[in-house]
């Protein structure tokens, strides 16, 4: 834009920010006349300009009656190719426009529900996408937050229906849903007499297997409940501080005093001295020890008389026979003798689970003594039958009581209870300690979650038997033939050879022999892939890839790639690095080893940076408009202006958007950091013809042996191991 043009717009009454938007449009070669209107705020101009630059028919929203959020929703709808005429009306708030747009993008028309609150429409849309109809609950009057919790429960097969009441706030529904999912008796707290925080304290107590009746009165505040729960979980006698007359603060002080008493270390600090003509009595910290010093060597004492003297001086329990014998013998003159020792109260044994299946199943090929790798005997599956006992919980034991030398009683603490097991595919007996399989399937304990998933066992798979798709895990005991497709939501284990087939799993994939696919086979795993060999195969894993021998294949791992023999030919790409034996071969077969972030991560990194930049620009425009209105109008005027209210709300909303994008940027940067720090470790030989790439850095192998390749300041650094 020329200086003359800028002067023209300034004289016409355009603001600096409006002129900047027009200038950007002219630089991009678009028809700025469509938005060069003083009635448009700069942020509105921006939406029209972006739409023109994207080649969209902006005339449908390039109108002053639409605010900038409405313009954005119409623009995004045009960009995704949906029928925006269904919602491009100025009287429809942008929040409802957004739900309409997202619904249309998912093939769902929500036009008939526009009279509902935007939050309710959002839940209706999300429910429809997940195959759940929330209309029943909407018609019953549940609000958006309640519907969100109901939808979550239904999506996760949590039967919350018997406990639903419209009087419950959304957080209360959350506590009931969590309780059902974790197998506790929610009937003990699913009542309108409790608020959601009280429900939470009772739920946590049930999960930790304590006596919640001690604090389940609705007259307790949730803070009081929490303090009593903490004490019970520590195995303490809470009766001294649980009466309702104590405030939460008083309860906390009493609890802390009890904990301080228990946690005090024994100190040999003298607290008192009791003297007589012939003895000096000294007591250790907390009366847990007593010492006697004989002050005369001219008198003797019998055992009976010494015990009488000890009792007269307050020493009743823990008297040590050998110490008594020493004093009676007359050999303890002027020596402080430990005459009695109290018993420190013990904490009972902690609760523990007894498992009736192998929880340490080794899911990696075993390296044998001769250095070879055993793929045939990978113990991947452990199968159970419906009703089979999986685990029994052994409750925490009661602690042994203690005492002081003065006869004071010290109550033992009960052991710590373990949380109830979470997961799927099992049921908890009425005794609340026995876990049984709810289905026939594969059992697994991972990250303290117990899971039993459906399991399918098949023989040879080929075109005659047809393709396989199964919701669970699959064990194929034979070969997989050319052109077949096997898909599963959990692990797939194949005992035989795999030809040019497609194997897809949301879990891990194990090939006990391997795959030779002549360039037409494909493996994709949501977790790890383990195989004896790959030849001319394409393998993708979100986790690690472990292979003995790999020839002329393409490997892509979100984690690491590990090879125990050789990778020769083709491409191997990993985000977290490599642990390899030999790479390439003596014939100089071209082999590429790459440490590089995947394209999705690159695109996410690019998009989040663009989003942050755009959010900052939009927030700056909004703040400028906000300050302009504050300067032009007094509070009593501007606070009643609809446009000012919209700007004020938009500043808050855009600020939140920016916070979310910045958080996402930090997560992406952490992933990028791991990729940049990844290494390639080669314990065998890196033959000529092999290329190692770490992002933009590159190293061509030179028959070197036993090296580590890493990236340092954008350059490759090769270190001899």
DSSP 609-644: HHHHHHHHHHHHHHHHHHHHHHHHS-HHHHTT-HHH
pLDDT tens, residue by residue, 531-568: 999 999 999 999 999 999 999 999 999 999 999 999 99
pLDDT of residue 646: 81
Q: Which residues of the chain register pLDDT less than 50?
A: 265-275
Residue 113 near residue 135 (C-beta atoms within 8 A):
no
Q: How far apart are CA 228 and CA 242, in angstroms?
A: 6
The DSSP-derived string for 487-498 is EESS-EEE-SEE
pLDDT of residue 374: 58
Q: Which residue has the tokens 């190719």?
A: 81
Per-position b or e across 601-617, b if 16+ CB within 10 A of its CB: beebbeebeebbebbee
pTM: 0.55
pLDDT of residue 235: 86
pLDDT tens, residue by residue, 639-686: 888 778 888 888 888 888 899 999 988 888 887 777 778 899 999 999
Tokens in use for 134? 């929330």
- Cα–Cα separations (whole angstroms), residue 60 to 34, 63, 90, 643: 11, 8, 11, 21
The DSSP-derived string for 504-529 is EESS-EEEEEEEEEEEEEEEEESS-E
Is the torsion defined by CA of 164, 165, 170, 173 positive or negative? negative
Q: How far does the chain reach from its first CA to its final CA, in angstroms?
A: 62
How many angstroms from the chain centroid is the CA of residue 134? Answer: 28
Tokens in use for 433? 């300690």
pLDDT of residue 602: 72
**For the chain, which residues make up each domain, given as ranges?**
3-188, 272-341, 352-405+421-444, 451-598+678-720, 601-675
Q: How far apart are CA 159 and CA 427, in angstroms?
A: 14
Tokens in use for 68? 């900038």
Measure the CA angle with vertex 166, ends 161 and 170; round to 5°.
Answer: 85
pLDDT of residue 300: 77
Those residues whose C-beta lies under 8 Å from the C-beta of residue 716, and which sit 6 or more positions away, are: 692, 694, 697, 698, 699, 709, 710
H-only helix segments in 375-451: none
pLDDT of residue 266: 34
H or E element, residue 447: none
Q: How far apart are CA 200 and CA 171, in angstroms?
A: 9
pLDDT of residue 265: 45
pLDDT of residue 674: 78
């Amino acid at each position: 834009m020329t200086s003359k043009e800028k002067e023209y717009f300034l004289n016409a009454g355009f603001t600096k920010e409006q002129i900047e938007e027009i200038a950007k449009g002219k630089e991009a070669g678009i028809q700025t006349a469509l938005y060069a209107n003083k009635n448009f705020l700069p942020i509105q101009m921006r939406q029209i300009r972006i739409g023109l630059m994207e080649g969209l028919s902006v005339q449908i929203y390039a109108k002053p009656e639409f605010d900038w959020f409405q313009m954005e929703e119409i623009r995004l709808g045009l960009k995704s190719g949906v029928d925006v005429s269904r919602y491009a009306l100025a009287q429809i708030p942008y929040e409802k426009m957004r739900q309409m747009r997202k619904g249309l993008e998912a093939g769902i028309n929500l036009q008939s529900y526009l009279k509902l609150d935007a939050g309710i429409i959002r839940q209706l849309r999300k429910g429809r996408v997940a195959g759940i109809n929330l209309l029943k609950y909407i018609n019953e009057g549940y609000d958006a937050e309640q519907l969100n919790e109901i939808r979550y429960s239904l999506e996760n097969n949590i039967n919350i229906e018997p406990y639903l009441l419209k009087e419950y706030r959304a957080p209360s529904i959350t506590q009931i849903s969590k309780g059902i999912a974790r197998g506790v008796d929610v009937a003990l707290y699913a009542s309108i007499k409790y608020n959601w925080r009280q429900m939470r304290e009772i739920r946590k107590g049930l999960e930790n297997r304590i006596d919640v009746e001690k604090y389940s009165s609705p007259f307790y505040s949730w803070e009081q409940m929490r303090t009593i729960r903490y004490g019970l979980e520590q195995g303490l006698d809470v009766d001294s501080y649980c009466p309702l007359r104590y405030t939460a603060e008083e309860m906390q002080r009493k609890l802390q005093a009890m904990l301080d008493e228990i946690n005090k270390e024994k100190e040999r600090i003298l607290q008192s001295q009791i003297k007589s003509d012939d003895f000096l009595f000294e007591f250790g910290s907390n009366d847990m020890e007593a010492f006697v010093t004989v002050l005369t060597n001219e008198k003797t004492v019998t055992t009976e008389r010494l015990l009488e003297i000890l009792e007269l001086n307050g020493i009743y329990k823990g008297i040590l026979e050998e110490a008594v014998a020493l004093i009676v013998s007359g050999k303890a003159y002027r020596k402080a003798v430990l005459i009695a020792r109290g018993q420190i109260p013990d904490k009972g044994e902690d609760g523990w689970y007894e498992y009736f299946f192998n929880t340490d199943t080794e899911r990696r090929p075993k390296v044998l003594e001769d250095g070879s790798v055993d793929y045939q005997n990978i113990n991947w599956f452990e199968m159970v039958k419906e009703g089979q006992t999986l685990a029994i919980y052994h409750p925490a034991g009661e602690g042994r009581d203690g005492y002081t030398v003065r006869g004071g009683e010290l109550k033992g603490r009960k052991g710590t209870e373990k949380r109830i097991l979470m997961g799927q595919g099992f049921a908890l007996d009425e005794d609340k300690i026995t876990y049984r399989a709810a289905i026939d399937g594969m059992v697994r304990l991972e990250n303290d979650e117990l899971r039993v998933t459906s399991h399918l066992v098949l023989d040879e798979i080929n075109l005659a038997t047809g393709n396989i798709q199964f919701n669970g895990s699959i064990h194929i005991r034979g070969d997989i033939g050319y052109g077949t497709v096997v898909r599963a939501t959990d692990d797939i284990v194949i005992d035989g050879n795999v030809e040019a087939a497609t194997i897809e799993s949301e879990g891990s994939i194990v090939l006990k022999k391997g795959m030779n696919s002549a360039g037409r086979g494909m493996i994709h795993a949501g977790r790890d892939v383990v195989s004896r060999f790959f030849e001319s195969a394409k393998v993708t894993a979100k986790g690690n890839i472990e292979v003995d021998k790999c020839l002329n294949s393409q490997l892509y791992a979100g984690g690491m790639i590990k090879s125990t023999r050789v990778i020769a030919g083709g491409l191997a790409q990993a985000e977290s690095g490599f642990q390899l034996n030999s790479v390439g071969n003596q014939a100089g077969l071209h082999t590429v080893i790459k440490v590089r972030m995947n394209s999705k991560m690159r695109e996410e990194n690019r998009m989040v940076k663009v989003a942050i930049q755009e959010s900052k620009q939009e927030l700056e425009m909004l703040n400028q408009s906000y300050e302009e209105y504050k300067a032009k109008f007094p509070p009593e005027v501007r606070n009643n202006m609809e446009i000012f209210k919209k700007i004020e709300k938009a500043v808050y909303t855009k600020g939140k958007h920016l916070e979310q994008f910045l958080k996402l940027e930090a997560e992406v940067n952490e992933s990028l950091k791991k990729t940049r720090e990844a290494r390639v470790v080669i314990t065998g030989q890196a033959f000529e013809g092999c290329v190692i790439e770490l992002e933009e850095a590159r190293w061509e192998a030179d028959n070197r042996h036993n090296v580590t390749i890493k990236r340092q300041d954008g350059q490759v650094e090769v270190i001899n191991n």
